[in-house]
Amino acid sequence: MERPTLKVKIRAKTGKSYANKIRKKGLIPAVLYGPHLKESIPLEIDKFDVHSLMSTISEGERIITLEIVNQDKDNKREVILKDVQHSWIKGGLQHLDFYEITRGEKISTEVPLRLVGEAPGVKKGGVIEQLVREIEIECLPENIPPHIDVDIKELDIGDSLRIKDLKLPSGVRTLTNPEEIVVSVLSPISEEELEKLEEEKGVVAEEVEVVKKERKEEKEEEEETKKKEE
């Protein structure tokens, strides 16, 4: 099957000011790197081409072909999109990282976790707490899953699932600590416990106010003493 293709150009310059300059022209700065590249390659891409690619590739499609239009030799590279940076202010794409792959060589990457099912503990009033939302895996590029399902249908109140409990696809292994807790079902907080917490917060707040008042009085006394000495 033919891979999705994205046309890119090698950037004339690097640096923040030049990156901002090309963004104003509707281009997105990017970089291509990999274990067999002597140095990273700065790129620029038409933002409409990027959005078009994102809207057409299917879920789980991780490998794409970069066609470097202003390079004569080795102008087609198989890559995975390693990182996407967005602008917190404008919300648009800011920068893309591409990682060149080699067929037959395993790579490490991060994939999201997806909770599946309804935990019995939740039906009893428990609360789901997801502590890990993505894990690092190692596999061949063509075996990278779009996500890994976390089955919570057996979790009761007080139960947890660890990394080692996850069912990984064939040919995929995790590099994350196997003992790390992924998800738990916590006990619901009773009215009595809630009131106790509120009371404790109130006591702490009162203590803080007392300390503030004492410091204020001490400061006023010091100022009064200084005035008398003068």
Residues 224 and 177 in one domain: no
Kindly report, residue by residue over 132-178, the tens digit of the pLDDT: 999 999 999 989 998 999 999 999 999 999 999 999 999 999 999 99
Residues 71 and 116 in one domain: no
* Total domains in the fold of the chain: 3
Domain limits for position 222: 193-230
User: Mean pLDDT over residues 182-194, rounded?
Assistant: 80
The mean pLDDT of the chain is 84
The pLDDT of residue 85? 85
With left for phi above 0 and alpha for psi between -120 and 50, is residue 90 left, alpha or beta? alpha
Kindly report, residue by residue over 9-20, the tens digit of the pLDDT: 999 888 999 999
CA angle 10, 11, 16 (to 5 degrees): 150
Residues 168 and 89 in one domain: no
Report yes or no on whether pTM surpasses 0.75: no
Residues 214 and 140 in one domain: no
Residues 96 and 9 in one domain: yes
Residues 32 and 117 in one domain: no
The pLDDT of residue 1? 55
The pLDDT of residue 83? 85
Burial class (CB in 10 A: 0-12, 13-18, 19+), 78: middle
Three-state secondary structure of 147-165: CEEEECCCCCCCCEEEHHH
For the chain, give the percent of residues with pLDDT over 70. 79
Query: Kind of pairing, strands 148-151 and 107-116?
Result: parallel
